[in-house]
Copies of this chain bind each other. A is one copy, B any other.
Amino acid sequence: MARSTRESILTATAELMRHRGYGAVGMKDIAAASGAPIGSLYHHFRGGKVQIAREALVNAGAAYAMLIPTVVDGYTDLGAALEGVFEQAAQDMAATGFANMCPIASVAAEVADTVAELREVSAGIFTGWLDGGTAYFTARGLPAPTARQVTVALVAALEGAFVLARTMRDTEPLLAAGRVLGPQFRGVALTAAAPAPAP
């Protein structure tokens, strides 16, 4: 529920780019979806489309950073937790008609070679996720190297499975990824959850 014009522009942009990526979202679309006329877009964001996308990505990245801890908090076994994350993702995606996908990866893959500034922002968000996830799993009792590897593999598999699932309109990739990643860590205990870090 964004209140200010600025915020409504950013949330509308994140939502649009989650579905259509960067290039296919026009300033006119953002104006229509946010309720603000084109002139206001440039009034609030002097840097134009790139700046709007940049700030929308940063906001969305911060929101998504809390998703994995939120799910994993409910588990005391790492293997079960990993499977749970993928099952939750599969459920969400099916519930939204296979339209749900994080805007970061969607935009990142598209602009990695074309809009340097957005690639850099996306890279920073990914780095924050990986560092934050590592800190979280370390706080839950995993050795740091394991925590890092599990986090990186989890995020990579999730993002890839999202692409397959969305394209094929089938949750199989998410469920299969969870069933392959999870069992290896069954029996690895997670200690009591500390307050989740927000990187």
Chain A residues within CB distance 8 Å of chain B: 19-21, 23-24, 99, 101, 105-106, 108-110, 112-114, 119, 122-123, 126-127, 148-150, 152-153, 155-164, 166-169, 172-174, 176-177, 179-181, 183-184
Contact = CB atoms under 8 A, between A and B. Distances in A.
B157 A156 contact: yes
A138 B150 CA distance: 28
Tell me the dominant secondary structure on chain A's binding face: helix
10 contacts: A23-B23, A101-B109, A106-B110, A109-B167, A126-B167, A156-B160, A156-B177, A157-B177, A159-B160, A163-B163
Given A109-B110, A180-B184, A184-B184, 14 more contacts: A21-B109, A23-B110, A24-B110, A108-B163, A110-B110, A112-B167, A119-B167, A149-B180, A152-B172, A153-B179, A155-B173, A156-B157, A156-B173, A157-B160
Contacts of A123: 167-169
Contact of A181 (B24, B122, B153): B153
Contacts of A149: 176, 179-180
A82 to B, nearest CB: 10
Given A21-B109, A23-B24, A106-B109, A152 B167 contact: no
Contacts of A126: 164, 167-168
A189 to B, nearest CB: 18
Given A152-B176, A153-B177, A180-B181, A112 B160 contact: no
B166 A155 contact: no
A184 B188 CA distance: 14
Given A127-B168, A176-B148, A183 B181 contact: no
